[in-house]
Structure 1
């Protein structure tokens, strides 16, 4: 189903997020995300030579997590190739703090504590949930554990389908089913 026909309008901005998962030869996984923002009009910007031309990347940022099958993060690499301010790339080192953490319940909250707010980069931080779900989608087909059991360790109570009182949990992971809705 499509969105309804909008009123007449002018295109102003495009944000593109691309995420990919790669199985490495050494048994680890690289999960990468790239965010670009492109304006439809030229924007004044003294830190980028006076302006950022329409069609030119206003933001171009990449984040890679290298992890194992247990979702333990071994290495993090962040890059800011384009940004509106020259100081923005100085925030990439903070994302190394995610090394040694494990994607799973509570990980996004922990990531926010480690790299969120004034110490990090809003846009790179926005890529973390994308990387987490891309990780799950990338590793699931190769997991030895039952897909629903493995998924429930990460997804339980994160949406309506994965809610502890949903028919999906009752049917596929009955030991986690609870007829009482989660808080």
Structure 2
């Protein structure tokens, strides 16, 4: 179902976020995120030669996290290809501070604390949120595809699902948990 009809309007900004997950040949996982911001009009910018053309990226950024099956970060790399200021790319090495952290409950809060204010780039840090979701989708779908050990719903041989109580449908009292993970279902 689409959104309702909007009032007459003019596009002013577009942000495209793309996240992809990969199984590596060494059995680790790479999660890559890319963010691109554009505007449909030309505007002034001193650091980029006086202006940025319409549809030319204002921001163009990448992050790669290499994680294991337990979602622990083994490597972190950030790159800024486009930014409004020439000083922006100097922060990218600081994203190596993510190594050793684990994606899971508290990830977003930990990242926002670690990379807050002048310790990070707002846009790179924002990108880490959807990358965490992509990591879960990648690792758990990769496991169910048979590329890794994982949940076997038919034989009910699984560990406590990490997604319990992370959203409405994964509430321990939901019909989804009652059906797919009955050992963890709780009357609500």
Q: Does 1:76 align with 2:76?
A: yes
Cα displacement (A) at 1:53:
0.8
Cα displacement (A) at 1:164:
2.9
Counterpart for residue 52 of structure 1: 52
Distance 2:76 2:116 in 1: 15
CA-based RMSD: 1.9
Cα displacement (A) at 1:166:
2.0
Cα displacement (A) at 1:178:
3.8
Counterpart for residue 152 of structure 1: 161
Cα displacement (A) at 1:150:
6.5
Counterpart for residue 185 of structure 2: 177
Cα displacement (A) at 1:138:
1.3
| 1:35-88 CA-partner distances (Å, limit 9, x unpaired) | 000101111111111111111000000000011122111100000111111221
Q: What is the TM-score normalised by the length of structure 1?
A: 0.89
Cα displacement (A) at 1:174:
3.4
SS in 1 for 2:129: helix
Counterpart for residue 146 of structure 2: none
SS in 2 for 1:70: coil
Gap regions ≥5 residues in structure 1: none
- The equivalences for 1:117-128 within 5 A come to 117-128=117-128
After the TM superposition, list the runs of 4 or more consecutive aligned residues in structure 1 that deviate by more than 6 angstroms. none
Tell me the number of residue pairs that the alignment of Structure 1 and Structure 2 aligns: 179
